[in-house]
Amino acid sequence: MGKTEETLKNTIEKAKKGNQIAFSTLLDTFWNDVYGFQLIRTKNENDAEDITIQTFSRAFDKIDSYDASYEFKTWLITISKNLHVDLIRKRRRNVLESTESGNHDAIKKVLDDTPSAEDQLITEQNLATLLQHIKELKPHYQKVINLRYFNELSYADIALQLNEPVNNVKVKLLRAKKLLAEVIKSKA
């Protein structure tokens, strides 16, 4: 087993124990693979991004069911493909019901008290400059950052306000922080 495979295996094991940094590492490592896969399938950036967020949310919820005899990337792509099929079915049926009922019992806390590098960058920035950087993000990322850091809402409150599962909010916020950190670094 190569060093990269061993590192990935260790990261997955840490994620199974609820380590937020491990989740973040997996998200960073595989985001482009899943997003690129969905972009080709959907030919729509918003759908691709939404399905990718849902993929990581579902994967992080079900990380204990991951079978190490399969590649992690393959497992994520399979989840992603199934979510896309579900989306197509929903659109075909034109169902206008809420999909959020019943998800509250499945919510798992995977928080780590240690601020991430992105959290530290966000905290250290001048507020006016930070607001300019936030405005460069897509509107749904702006909203989740504003709700979390400026309105100081909990994940559960943000989930209620956005009518999304808590884990989707966590993944979206994680992605928003990464993108914001990239914007800040590019301007530094």
In tens, the pLDDT along 32-53 reads: 999 999 999 998 888 888 899 9
> d(Cα 4, Cα 25) in Å, to the nearest integer?
13
Q: Residue 117 has what pLDDT? A: 59
Nearest 5°: the CA angle 63, 159, 28 is 45
Is the pLDDT confidence value at 141 over 50? yes
Pull the structure tokens for residue 150. 């400026």
How confident is the model over 56-79, as a mean pLDDT? Answer: 90
Compute the chain's Rg from CA coordinates.
17
- How far apart are alpha carbons 80 and 83 in whole angstroms? 5
H or E element at residue 72: helix 72-93
The pLDDT, as a whole number, for residue 128 is: 65
What percent of the chain lies above the pLDDT cut of 70? 79
**pLDDT at residue 77, rounded to an integer:** 92
Q: How far apart are CA 14 and CA 46, in angstroms?
A: 31
Residue range 82-100: average pLDDT? 68
- Tell me the C-alpha distance between 177 and 171, whole Å: 10
